[in-house]
Amino acid sequence: MTDKILLAHGSGGTLSRDIVNNSLISVLGNSILNILDDSAVFTANGKIAFTTDSHVVQPIFFPGGDIGKLSVCGTINDLSVMGATPLYLSLALIIEEGFPTKDLDTIIDSVRKAADEAGVKIVTGDTKVVNRGNADKIFINTAGIGIIPEELSVSGHNAKPGNKVILSGTIGDHGIAVLSKREGIAFDTELESDCAPLNKLVADMMLVSSKINCMRDPTRGGLATTLNEIAEQSGVSIRIDEEKIPVRREVAAACEMLGFDPLYIANEGKLVAVVEAEDAEAILMQMKKNKYGHNAAIIGTIEEKYAGRVVMKTTLGTSRIVGMLVGEPLPRIC
């Protein structure tokens, strides 16, 4: 391989074959991917979850992860919050001409590690190269397929009055970690992105309860936007308690300094679950045993009044309406 990616690596010809063999198959290879037909082929039966996300994060390397890890975790989490067991991922790269081959290798290694941790396989892919200046370094799309147990119905439409809202941990870590790297902001202690695959956390939760009505991962738009989506889709209101929402000291400080609200900052390793009240404590206890759920907390309750709204009791004791994100304070955060 050359030390920089060339246009010809996206030609479909001999250099495309080289990049596929040397940088992709050699690291990600498995019995399905290695066939290299025009589609991957596997057997699956039942309720299938299917999702896609493109990742354009800038910078591509950030504390706690990189665009490779993010691309795998993002899609795994979108499957997991549907109650699906993620099985197979596609990986499609758009690379800017001149991109360092060693950076590509680092990213593909991160893809492999995240996929291995989650127990998913990369089974199909695509590589395009565009002329210098026509993309910013590398963009990665993953699509994913998972299987949902037949009896399960987890959806943003299923939140019901009386249900409890559980958040799996601290908010804002990903957004502030990426921003700190991008803007060169230093903290006393290094803040890392929470980027992580949540499928095993979800599996743990489902072990102790079948009464999980809704899950979602609060990525772009943050916790506030995710809760608003659920409130809107389910036609309910959500009352949350600011005091209960875990926020790291560094994230709170950075938000204070920069004028951001952690409720709107992206997370990449967190989920919100709306569960029947009777099982809430048992689910919470189980989540706390998982490394991605140590700081989980019950942060609120589903209510009937003010359908479509999210209302927060602030630390000062007042109540305020928490809307969806408006505008775009942090472009290219994922």
Q: Is 167 in the site for its own copies (CB under 8 A)?
A: no
Q: Is 52 in the site for its own copies (CB under 8 A)?
A: yes
Q: Is 185 in the site for its own copies (CB under 8 A)?
A: no
Q: Is 14 in the site for its own copies (CB under 8 A)?
A: yes
Least separation in angstroms between CB 80 and its own copies: 9
Least separation in angstroms between CB 47 and its own copies: 6
Burial 297-333 (b: 16+ CB within 10 A, else e): bbbbbbbeeeeebbbbbeeeeeeeebebbeeebbeeb
Closest among 229, 227, 249 to 295, alpha carbons compared: 249
Q: How far apart are CA 235 and CA 307, in angstroms?
A: 5
Q: Which stretch binds its own copies (CB under 8 A): 15-23, 238-246, 247-255, 285-293?
A: 15-23
Residues of span 187-226 touching its own copies by CB under 8 A: 216-217, 219-222, 225
Q: Which stretch binds its own copies (CB under 8 A): 100-108, 124-132, 194-202, 272-280?
A: 124-132
- Residue of 23, 71, 85, 90 that binds its own copies (CB under 8 A): 90
- Both ends of the chain: CA-CA distance in Å? 29
Q: How far apart are CA 224 and CA 332, in angstroms?
A: 19
Residues of span 230-289 touching its own copies by CB under 8 A: 233, 264, 266
Least separation in angstroms between CB 288 and its own copies: 23
Q: Is 48 in the site for its own copies (CB under 8 A)?
A: yes
- Residue of 63, 125, 246, 262 that binds its own copies (CB under 8 A): 125
Q: Are the C-beta atoms of 297 and 246 separated by less than 8 Å?
A: yes
DSSP 93-126: EEEETT-BHHHHHHHHHHHHHHHHHHT-EEEEEE
